[in-house]
Structure 1
Amino acid sequence: MADHMSKEKGMSKEKVDEFLSTITELAKEAGLKMDTSKIKVVNTLKAHRLLHFAETKGKESELMDKLFEAYFADGLNVDDNAVLTDLAMSVGLNQDEVKSVLDSDKFKNDVRADEAAAQQVGINGVPFYVFNKKYAVSGAQPVKVFKSALDKAWDSFKPIEMVGGDDDQSKGANCEGGSCSVDPNANNQK
């Protein structure tokens, strides 16, 4: 990976080694295992398509964790159908369905749409994280930066706030049988 980064990014070997050492240390601080000497630089389109499939089965997060571990810690080729199938099956996905996805272009348009959306907001590299569609963290950052972004996203999250209570019926609201109706004349003063 170091040679690839040096060539692609135009960075000196020393700068690349320093960068990789930093992200390895940050991963360790976050409780993650990373071995950059094992990382294989491969096309990840299949892995991303498989993540979209996993999302339809409620398994996206589990598969993403497995993919990260396979890629960053174990140095597995996440462009290899056998590796991807094993990872998908380890989170409970059906082997035949996984094979069907990998042997086709299924979910390719979804991945391309993700890429287009990322480019529209100025994302041009990985890793890049967006929280609550409002706060972003680019690149390998210390844990405190992620914590700050998460705290800001949480603080800005405004769920719908219900007002009123049991006395709503006295104001014309009638909720029963799983639905509500409002009497428009209930609050008219006579």
Structure 2
Amino acid sequence: MILPIVAYGSPILRRVAVDITPDYPNLTQLIADMWETMYASNGVGLAAPQINRSIRIFTVDSEQIIENLDEEERQEYEGDEGIKETFINAHIVEFAGDEWPYNEGCLSIPKVREDVMRPETVTIEYVNEKFEPQRKTFGGITARVIQHEYDHIEGKLFIDYLSPLKRKLLKGKLLDISNGKVRMDYRMTYPKS
């Protein structure tokens, strides 16, 4: 089932999400709904707070980004084949490498894209859908998407990394989003006025 995406301004996007246990109600269906919602919204990642659940789950499909790169870009991200994975109860262990810019967007902040600096690699501990412990290091675009989605379960948004001047310049657009004046071709829920 395709779920509505929570729009900027909703308090849930600013909460630190909580870990869950394997007996979380309807977990398998929730994860399936997250994948369906992400693809229906043309996203490459989706975190549970974006579908109004303050729990530590996010999905990432960076394979689709890698597949759409031209040859020159592929060389730039050599070694990053992309992933299609669900992260549950994720906690970042370490960031490494130089920070580099990339133009990010967010399903909860439609029609806003800005360059964000993030470290090259991230090491993260989490459990998969079978609740098997994982500890992996990711680089390139995949690391970027993971860090963006991880921020959602920490109550952060990509705009938090922008300079005060950039944020001030975006204030009108952000207000329009939270007031429901920005419409997308996917379902959204807006903060209550």
TM-score (norm 1): 0.25
Structure showing the higher helix proportion among its residues: 1
TM-score (norm 2): 0.25
Which structure has more relative contact order (CA 8 Å, sep 6+)? It is: 2
Structure showing the higher strand proportion among its residues: 2
For the pair shown, the structure with the greater C-alpha radius of gyration is 1
